[in-house]
């Protein structure tokens, strides 16, 4: 049902296909980056700082003489790990909370959804800043912080979708047959709210990447010597006049990755939403 | 007539109350930040390495009021906050409120400038794309908008600096000049940060505007208007856009609320001394009263903006204004 | 005056052009009412949109012409076509509230419609608008002018649409299912209004509907459509007296009609050569395995005593919440192996009552005696064993089946919930249930979206029978189905009743259907049972004024109505 629609979409829109390929490449680099890197990303070489491309260093060097290409290749790892980790945390807990908010007892539901609203009243970057500033930086803490911050977003989507599904007659049918709450959630609710959740997941991955890279840019996310694309962009700003390519390469890669995620997310929404409506 | 006005006032009063409660809850959360966060503020302040004596710790604690029971600290803090007294900065003892009042307008100014740019660019683009759905124009505009939301704001800012500052030398790359000192310079320094924020926002607004307009174009009443013999132009300007105004205003308003915190990166990049800059500095220095004051100001601004948007929304949509009896 | 010649319309799909309407031909003479009748998918709506030049972007005219006074309007430049709309041809749609702009008052919209074609100035337009509202018999025209669409009822909105349509005295009004979304009593008023306007203003009306009764009441001539083809064109009298095409004949026959006795409704089938036939199926023979027919029990299977359920609603945002009685001291009983038909208009509380019986909520007071035991106040746990005995079939074939489960999973669901049998045993039972409802065994692995509305209702019925219930509640079970499909499902329900010793509580707003299936009937209005008795008594000799009003409002074929004599 769904896979055939995805295949059709792939054929009809080249941008979708290109985005999938790009993302596959990014994930590939994320997994195998350490082996793909031509040079040691941590090797300092004060003699060749801030150089443009050369035969030895295809994309040039950074302010410590380290090979830019190698740093770029492993710089995607923390970003990917944080993005996926955060999305999983937000997805699992957010969905649980959202369903409870729609399906549980009225008082608990009310409290849950009001809390969700209040949490949504803070821009995530601010809270992330606070949390990371007081706690610690690093892949694990960033994943947890960003994941927790996006729980309300998932909760809201799961909540709205569950409410919509609850109004359908097959939910009444389940109750009339005497189905237990567990059965209702797992056979009736979850399979039918997957579509908006998948869309939200792509949005969250993109947002997590932007958030992590933003924090790293400020020097609060992934800290040196561990490279991350956002961090590299932040450092590169200081050398804008000397070696503008230092800023351009990670910027380009980051923007393209986020763009690919957004294109895929848009297309998924087109495929999944109308089907939800017609059903 | 009377019932309608009374009904509207009641609605407004309810929203005001909800907003106030929301602020209260948020304030409580902000207050408890200090207790959740790891690290003893007193030790951090005195400097853990200098090995402070127990007397010094105790005296600092009572100075900060930390020896009182938590609940009483909470109420004292709340009471003070209502009087706009956020305590004193731990680094230099100046009232936090001063810092907040000084920096808040600068963030507000940046946010408003950004949203105006974003709305002026994004709304027309979104409408133009929606009206010629599927055409080349639509594809191009939608693609630009998708790219716009994918480029992080700090990259946008960097590119703008690269182009306007370094290459063309037209606008300054950072800094702040107070408007009372030099009007022109003030706006020159506002330009790049506002544009950096505004472009990304414009893309987001364009996308949401496009889908709102498309949704309205698909409604039954548009078909009925065509059946009445109305020109397409009139349908769009008199009916579609007016219906679309409601969700568009909501979108813009919500983005404005988000901007209150979203200025963090831009303020850092361009050295714009706003509230977010204050906050980042306070976090690093563990300056809790300042952190609390700044966060409270941001939250209050956000909640207030959302309240205004909701009231505006009720005003524009007669279905909310006058519920069916 | 309006001539449609060889009109063909197709949809643009990813797989090329898909034909929707083929070579449609008909004429509307000045001042006459032409009915365009067909079931869903017959192409009647898309034809009307084609005539107006209002096809959706994914549809295109592939041939033919539409002539108004000899001018082919399909070849007109858009600007000229636009001038015709509203002035010479007007259209009213199925969902009146959705067809009005929600942010303008009704008065403003009527004025706008007037000024569009007659620049007579705002003040004059307002006066004319008010006159029009009086003509369409809107109660309190001044208030209606000031109101927004969501503040009025469906019937009132439709009157506003009609007022706008006649504002510029058009020569043709196209009415697309104008009364389908309305209660039967409101429908009667709106149809009468259309007929009066037709006489007074002299506008011809193209009335599109699936309801043959409406056609009989109102139309002068009829065009019958089926799957994009024209089946027949005749005067109303001729069509009902002696239908020429097989499809028309089958369609008329399969429609349950007040006063017509029939054990089994004829259904529409195709014979091997593809010809449409009307077939009257034989009642199914009761299999020997079902055991002997149980003797008449002296106790009713279901007895409802003084049942009450109310909700708190706020009539206006400012007012105090008021208690609204959805079910108001209702008392009924149903004997085993019979059918009780519960009939009433929308909002009368019949659905609330049905959900009380199946205990989807606890009633406020009263008793529900099932086989002598009161289930009204039971806890969920105590209620569980009773859920085997009572099953429900819902109205919406598209919403009552979980789209993510296969047919087998759907039908065996009750067995899974009660942990009956093992997987193999359940599969066997699923197969036999599917057979009982007339679905092939291959259906078990498919998903609901692969089936039509009628087939989905069969799946729902199979599911209802899974645990061998004694009572089956059919809540508007056939209301969402086409007439021909409805006939099949009604026949199926009768067969199953005999085969499985079922008792039905059959709820519907459609009086003809209720008369066809019920042994006893209860008429409900605003939460109360207005009249209650055998079907023969209620339909043959109604006592209460409300019952008589309801029966009167039903457009019925063959009885003396509105000046049209029965053949």
Cross-sheet strand order for the sheet of C471-475: C390-393, C471-475, C503-508, C339-343, C520-525, C528-534
Model confidence at C297, pLDDT cuts 50, 70, 90, reads low
Q: Which of residues 303-342 of C touch B (CB under 8 A)?
A: 315-318
* Model confidence pLDDT, tens digit, residues B151-182: 999 889 888 888 888 888 888 888 888 878 88
Model confidence at C339, pLDDT cuts 50, 70, 90, reads very high
Least confident of B46-55, B184-193, B204-213, C395-404: B46-55
User: For an interface test with C, which of B3, B14, B130, B224 has the most C Cβ atoms less than 10 Å from its Cβ?
Assistant: B224
Chains that touch B (3 or more CB pairs under 8 A): A, C
The more confidently predicted of residues C381 and A121 is C381
Interface membership of B260 toward A (CB under 8 Å):
yes
Contact partners, residue C491, CB within 8 Å, separation at least 6? C264, C265, C267, C281
Flag whether pLDDT at C399 surpasses 50: yes
Interface membership of B246 toward C (CB under 8 Å):
yes
The more confidently predicted of residues A136 and C188 is C188
Q: Do A258 and B279 touch (CB under 8 A)?
A: no
What six digits make up the tokens of A102? 């729609």
Shortest CA distance from B156: residue in chain A? A251
* Model confidence pLDDT, tens digit, residues C240-283: 888 888 888 888 888 877 776 667 777 777 666 766 777 777 77
Flag whether pLDDT at C563 surpasses 50: no
Interface membership of B318 toward C (CB under 8 Å):
yes
Using a CB-CB cut-off of 8 Å, the residues of chain B touching A258 are: 150-152
Rounded (10°) CA dihedral A86, A91, A94, A99? 180
Reference B277, options B183, B174, B158; nearest CA is B174
Instruction: Tell me the percentage of chain C whose pLDDT exceeds 70.
Output: 93
Residue C399, min C-alpha distance to chain A (Å): 5
Shortest CA distance from B216: residue in chain C? C101
User: For an interface test with A, which of C354, C404, C472 has the most A Cβ atoms less than 10 Å from its Cβ?
Assistant: C404
Reference A245, options A94, A51, A76; nearest CA is A51
* Model confidence pLDDT, tens digit, residues C435-450: 999 899 898 999 998 8
User: Residue C394's pLDDT is what?
Assistant: 92
Least confident of A146-155, B30-39, C205-214: B30-39
Q: What is the largest CA-CA distance in chain A?
A: 78
**What own/partner pairs with CB < 8 Å and gap ≥ 24 does A265-271 have?**
A265/A199, A265/A202, A265/A203, A265/A206, A266/B146, A267/A9, A267/A13, A267/A16, A268/A6, A268/A198, A268/A199, A268/A202, A269/A199, A270/A9, A271/A2, A271/A5, A271/A6, A271/A9
Rounded CA gap, C305 and C330, in Å?
A: 6
Using a CB-CB cut-off of 8 Å, the residues of chain C touching A195 are: none
User: Residue B216's pLDDT is what?
Assistant: 92
Residue A179, min C-alpha distance to chain C (Å): 6
C273-300: average pLDDT: 68
ipTM of the complex: 0.82
Q: Which of residues 122-151 of B touch C (CB under 8 A)?
A: none
Least confident of A108-117, B123-132, C108-117, C348-357: A108-117
Contact partners, residue C34, CB within 8 Å, separation at least 6? C26, C28, C204, C205, C206, C207, C219, C220, C221, C222, C223
Q: Which of residues 56-95 of A touch C (CB under 8 A)?
A: none
User: Residue C416's pLDDT is what?
Assistant: 92
What six digits make up the tokens of C264? 């089994």
Cα A40 to Cα A43, A45, A69, C130, distances in angstroms: 5, 11, 10, 85
Q: How far does CA C350 lie from the centroid of its chain? A: 16
Interface membership of B227 toward C (CB under 8 Å):
yes
Are residues B289 and B88 in contact, defined by beta-carbon separation less than 8 angstroms?
A: yes
Q: Do B150 and A258 touch (CB under 8 A)?
A: yes
User: Residue B118's pLDDT is what?
Assistant: 95
Q: Do C402 and A192 touch (CB under 8 A)?
A: yes
Q: Tell me the DSSP string of C272-288.
A: TTS-EEEE-PPPPPPPG
* Model confidence pLDDT, tens digit, residues C507-558: 998 888 998 899 999 999 999 999 999 988 998 888 999 999 988 888 777 6
Flag whether pLDDT at C11 surpasses 50: yes
User: Residue A5's pLDDT is what?
Assistant: 62
Q: What's the DSSP call for residue C561?
A: B
Model confidence at B94, pLDDT cuts 50, 70, 90, reads confident
Chains that touch C (3 or more CB pairs under 8 A): A, B
Q: What does pLDDT average to over chain B?
A: 83
E strands of C29-144, at which residues?
33-37, 59-68, 71-72, 89-92
Interface membership of B144 toward A (CB under 8 Å):
no
Instruction: Tell me the percentage of chain B whose pLDDT exceeds 70.
Output: 89
B176 CB-side CA count, 13 A: 19
Interface membership of B38 toward A (CB under 8 Å):
yes
Cross-sheet strand order for the sheet of C2-13: C16-28, C2-13, C59-68, C71-72
* Model confidence pLDDT, tens digit, residues B7-31: 778 878 888 888 888 888 888 877 7
pLDDT digits (tens), chain A, 279 positions: 456 666 666 666 778 888 888 898 888 888 887 778 777 878 887 777 777 777 777 777 778 878 888 888 888 888 999 999 999 999 999 999 999 888 777 888 888 888 887 777 777 888 888 787 777 778 888 899 999 999 998 998 999 899 888 888 899 999 999 888 889 999 999 998 988 899 899 999 999 999 999 888 888 888 877 888 888 888 888 887 788 888 888 899 999 999 999 999 888 888 776 544 433
User: Residue C286's pLDDT is what?
Assistant: 64
Residue C448, min C-alpha distance to chain A (Å): 9
Residue C90, min C-alpha distance to chain B (Å): 7
Q: What's the DSSP call for residue C259?
A: T
Q: Do C99 and B230 touch (CB under 8 A)?
A: no
Rounded CA gap, C113 and C128, in Å?
A: 11
User: Residue B310's pLDDT is what?
Assistant: 83
Residue C15, min C-alpha distance to chain B (Å): 18
Least confident of B161-175, B182-196, B216-230, C368-382: B161-175
Q: Which of residues 158-197 of B touch C (CB under 8 A)?
A: none
Are residues C24 and C64 in contact, defined by beta-carbon separation less than 8 angstroms?
A: yes
Beta-sheet pairing, C365-370 with C373-374: antiparallel
C35-41: average pLDDT: 88
Rounded CA gap, C286 and C305, in Å?
A: 34
User: Residue C567's pLDDT is what?
Assistant: 43
Q: How far does CA C87 lie from the centroid of its chain? A: 32
User: For an interface test with A, which of C354, C413, C445, C457 has the most A Cβ atoms less than 10 Å from its Cβ?
Assistant: C413
The more confidently predicted of residues C271 and B251 is B251
Of A118, A210, A237, the CB nearest to B26: A118
User: Residue A6's pLDDT is what?
Assistant: 63
């Amino acid at each position: 049902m769904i896979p055939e629609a995805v295949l059709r979409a792939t054929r009809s829109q080249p941008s979708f296909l290109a985005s999938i390929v790009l993302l596959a490449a990014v994930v590939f680099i994320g997994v195998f980056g350490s082996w793909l890197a031509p040079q040691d990303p941590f090797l300092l070489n004060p003699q060749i700082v801030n150089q443009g491309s050369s035969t030895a260093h295809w994309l040039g060097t950074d302010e410590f003489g380290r090979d830019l290409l190698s740093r770029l290749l492993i710089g995607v790892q923390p970003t990917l790990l944080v993005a996926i980790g955060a999305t999983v945390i937000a997805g699992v807990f957010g969905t649980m909370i959202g369903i409870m908010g729609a399906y549980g007892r009225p008082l608990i539901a009310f409290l849950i959804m009001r809390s969700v609203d209040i949490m949504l009243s803070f821009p995530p970057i601010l809270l992330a800043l606070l949390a990371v500033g007081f706690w610690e930086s690093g892949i694990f803490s960033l994943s947890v912080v960003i994941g927790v911050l996006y729980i309300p977003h998932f909760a809201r989507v799961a909540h709205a979708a569950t409410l919509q599904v609850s109004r359908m007659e097959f939910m009444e049918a389940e109750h009339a047959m005497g189905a237990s709450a567990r059965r209702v959630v797992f056979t009736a609710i979850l399979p039918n709210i997957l579509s908006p959740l998948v869309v939200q997941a792509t949005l969250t991955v993109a947002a997590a990447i932007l958030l992590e890279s933003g924090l790293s840019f400020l020097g609060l996310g992934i800290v040196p010597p561990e490279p991350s694309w956002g961090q590299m962009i932040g450092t590169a700003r200081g050398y804008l006049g000397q070696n503008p390519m230092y800023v351009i390469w990670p910027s380009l890669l980051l923007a393209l990755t986020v763009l690919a995620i957004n294109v895929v997310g848009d297309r998924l929404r087109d495929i999944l939403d109308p089907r939800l409506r017609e059903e | 007539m009377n019932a309608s006005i009374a009904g509207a006032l009641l609605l407004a009063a309810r929203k005001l109350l909800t907003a106030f409660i929301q602020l209260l809850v948020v304030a409580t959360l902000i207050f408890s930040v200090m207790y959740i966060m790891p690290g003893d503020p007193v030790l951090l302040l005195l400097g853990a390495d200098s090995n402070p004596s127990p007397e010094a710790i105790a005296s600092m604690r009572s100075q900060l009021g930390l020896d009182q029971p938590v609940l009483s600290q909470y109420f004292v803090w709340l009471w003070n906050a209502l009087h706009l007294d956020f305590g004193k900065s731990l680094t230099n003892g100046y009232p936090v409120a001063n810092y907040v009042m000084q920096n808040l307008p600068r963030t507000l100014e940046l946010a408003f400038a950004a949203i105006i740019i974003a709305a002026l660019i994004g709304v027309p683009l979104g409408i133009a794309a929606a009206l010629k759905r599927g055409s080349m124009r639509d594809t191009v505009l939608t693609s630009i908008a998708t790219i716009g939301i994918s480029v992080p704001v700090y990259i946008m800012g960097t590119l703008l600096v690269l182009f306007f500052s370094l290459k063309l030398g037209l606008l300054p790359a950072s800094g702040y000049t107070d408007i009372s000192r030099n009007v022109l310079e003030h706006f020159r320094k506002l330009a790049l940060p506002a544009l950096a924020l505004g472009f990304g926002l414009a893309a987001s607004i364009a996308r949401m505007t496009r889908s709102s307009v498309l949704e309205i174009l698909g409604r039954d009443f548009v078909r009925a208007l065509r059946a009445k013999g109305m020109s397409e132009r009139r349908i769009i300007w008199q009916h579609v856009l007016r219906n679309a105004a409601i969700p568009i205003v909501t979108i813009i308003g919500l983005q404005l609320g988000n901007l209150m915190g979203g200025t963090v990166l831009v303020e850092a990049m361009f050295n714009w001394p706003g509230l977010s800059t204050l906050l980042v500095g306070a976090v690093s220095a563990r300056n809790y009263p300042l952190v609390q004051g700044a966060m409270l100001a941001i939250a209050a601004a956000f909640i207030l903006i959302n309240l205004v948007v909701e009231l505006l929304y009720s005003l524009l949509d007669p279905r909310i204004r006058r519920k069916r009896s | 005056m309006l001539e449609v010649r060889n009109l063909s319309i197709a949809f643009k799909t990813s797989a090329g052009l898909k034909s929707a309407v083929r070579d449609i031909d008909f004429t509307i003479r000045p001042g006459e009412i032409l009915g365009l009748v067909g079931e869903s998918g017959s192409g009647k709506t898309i034809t009307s949109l084609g005539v107006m030049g209002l096809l959706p972007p994914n549809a295109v005219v592939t041939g033919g012409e539409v002539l108004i006074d000899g001018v082919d309007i399909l070849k007109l430049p858009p600007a000229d076509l636009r001038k015709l709309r509203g002035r010479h041809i007007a259209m009213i749609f199925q969902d009146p509230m959705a067809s009005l702009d929600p942010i303008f008052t009704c008065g403003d919209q009527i004025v706008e419609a007037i000024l569009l074609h007659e620049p007579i100035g705002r003040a004059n337009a307002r006066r004319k608008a008010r006159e029009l509202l009086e003509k369409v018999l809107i109660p309190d025209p001044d208030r209606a002018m000031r109101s927004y669409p969501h503040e009025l009822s469906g019937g009132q909105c439709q009157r506003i649409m009609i007022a706008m349509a006649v504002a510029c005295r058009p020569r043709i009004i196209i009415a697309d299912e104008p009364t389908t979304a309305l209660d039967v009593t409101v429908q009667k008023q709106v149809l009468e209004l259309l007929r009066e306007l037709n006489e007074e203003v002299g506008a011809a009306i193209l009335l599109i509907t699936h309801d043959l009764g409406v056609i009989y009441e109102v139309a002068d001539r009829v065009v019958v459509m089926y799957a994009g083809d024209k089946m027949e064109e005749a005067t109303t009298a001729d069509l009902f007296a002696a239908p020429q095409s097989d499809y028309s004949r089958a369609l008329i026959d399969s429609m349950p009609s007040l006063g017509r006795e029939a054990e089994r409704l004829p259904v529409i089938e195709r014979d091997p050569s593809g010809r449409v036939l009307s077939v009257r199926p034989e009642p199914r023979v009761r299999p020997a395995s079902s055991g002997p027919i149980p003797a008449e029990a002296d106790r009713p299977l279901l007895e409802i005593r003084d049942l009450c359920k109310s909700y708190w609603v706020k009539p206006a945002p400012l007012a105090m919440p008021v208690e609204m009685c959805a079910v108001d001291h209702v008392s009924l009983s149903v004997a085993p192996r019979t059918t009780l038909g519960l009939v009433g208009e929308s909002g009368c509380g019949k659905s609330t009552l049905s959900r009380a019986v199946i205990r989807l909520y606890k009633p406020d007071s009263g008793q529900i005696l099932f086989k002598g035991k009161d289930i009204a106040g039971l806890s969920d746990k105590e209620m569980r064993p009773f859920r085997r005995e009572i099953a429900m079939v819902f109205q919406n074939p598209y919403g009552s089946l979980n789209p993510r489960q296969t047919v087998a999973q759907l039908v065996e669901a009750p067995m899974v919930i009660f942990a009956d049998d093992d997987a193999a045993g359940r599969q066997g039972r699923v197969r036999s249930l599917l057979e009982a409802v007339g679905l092939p065994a291959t259906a078990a692995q498919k998903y609901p979206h692969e089936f039509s509305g009628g087939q989905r209702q069969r799946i729902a019925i199979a599911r209802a029978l899974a645990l061998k219930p004694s009572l089956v509640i059919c809540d508007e079970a056939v209301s969402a189905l086409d007439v021909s499909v409805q006939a099949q499902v009604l026949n199926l329900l009768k067969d199953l009743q005999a085969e499985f010793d079922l008792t039905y509580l059959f709820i519907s707003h459609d009086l003809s259907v209720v008369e066809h299936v019920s042994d006893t009937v209860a008429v409900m209005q605003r939460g109360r049972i207005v009249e209650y008795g055998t079907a023969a008594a209620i339909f043959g000799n109604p006592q209460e004024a409300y019952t008589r009003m309801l029966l009167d409002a039903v457009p019925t074929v063959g009885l003396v109505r509105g000046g049209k004599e029965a053949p």
